[in-house]
Amino acid sequence: MSSIFILYTGGTFGMKKTKKGLVPSSWDEIINYLPAFKNQNYFDSFKQIDFTYEALEPVVDSSDMNPESWNKIAEIIYKNYDDYHGFIIIHGTDTLAYTASALSFMFNNLDKPIVLTGSQLPIFHPRTDGIVNLSNAIYIAGHKSFEIDCIPEVCICFNDDVLRGNRSIKVSTNDFEGFSSPNFENLAYLEQNITLNHNLIYRGDKEKFGLQPKFSNNVVNVTVFPGYNPSALIDIVRNQKIEGIVLKTFGAGNLPKTSQWQDLIEACEKNKTIIFATTQCPNGRIEIGQYASSETLQSTCVVSGKDITSEAALTKLMWVIGNYPYEERHDILSQNIRGEMT
């Protein structure tokens, strides 16, 4: 028998129509639309899966997710960790990749699957993708009942894909294949036959499972564009309003050749502000030094994000600043600590 803990947080999966637009429903309203979960049906009777359901209070549209929400989710999983074989988080799609990335950094040495899923159409819609997505998530979380190898990671199960959570991005607002992992192959394919890429599955050290829940809000996410003037950003750094910047550069790490960018670097060096440099391109990686235009970034205050996603870069920076002193941040940011970059 497998035991699975399902946490419903809100999002499109459980949305219902109101005069103000779509709003999250309660779990009691949703369960009636999930016939495979009712007593004496497939998952209960034939596969002997024991389900526990809980709803985040309050359930929210995922645009309202924040570090406090991530901590609530993590604490619920941490409290119940020893009692279940796997966990499923039903989540809105807009910030699902952020939550998956954040949770991956918060948990040390996972040895059980934490699966995030959701849907593009509400469960009340006749063509909903929610039933398939949740059913597929159950196969991953309840791996023991289906004789599937364990994926001890925070992952996203959407459509027929199982993706590493901190490698995933939302790529569509309406396609049922709403998520992609542009720089990393699927952990599993949930087609007629389930196929796992065993060699890609990330396994932590054999140390004790733990939780590091702190995040810093003293960060900004800056996208460089033609004509961008970083003077306002320089002022923020000099006034010590922030501790970290995710800088989304052109291509492989390029910046305009203007003196203001060097001024920004000098301000960051002086005020102990870390720049986590990434590329704007969904696919590919940053290579500081490949082009002369990236010369400005060759500084002790700059860390290369390599092929990390924007969502993982931001949550990792927030998490590192929240949990480690300045002297350790550069080293930890540059490491691949949860399979988030290569």
Q: Other CB atoms closer than 10 Å to residue 195's CB: what's the count? A: 11
Helix axes 96-106, 67-80, angle to 10 degrees: 50
Q: Is 180 left (phi over 0), alpha (psi -120 to 50) or beta?
A: beta
Q: Which of 106-141 are b and which e, b meaning 16 or more Cβ less than 10 Å from the residue's Cβ?
A: bbeebebbbbbbbbbbbbbeeebbbbbbbbbbbbbb
How many residues are given for the chain?
342
* C-alpha distance from residue 274 to each of 214, 270, 278 (Å): 18, 11, 13
Residue 300 a catalytic site member: no
Residues 6+ apart with CB under 8 A from 18: none
* C-alpha distance from residue 154 to each of 118, 174, 202, 342 (Å): 14, 24, 10, 18
**C-alpha 329 chain-centroid distance:** 20
**C-alpha 195 chain-centroid distance:** 23
Identify the active-site residue in 9, 12, 273, 296. Answer: 12
Query: For residue 24, which phi and psi values (nearest 5 degrees)?
Result: -65, 140
Q: What is the CA radius of gyration of the chain?
A: 21
Residues marked active site are found at: 12
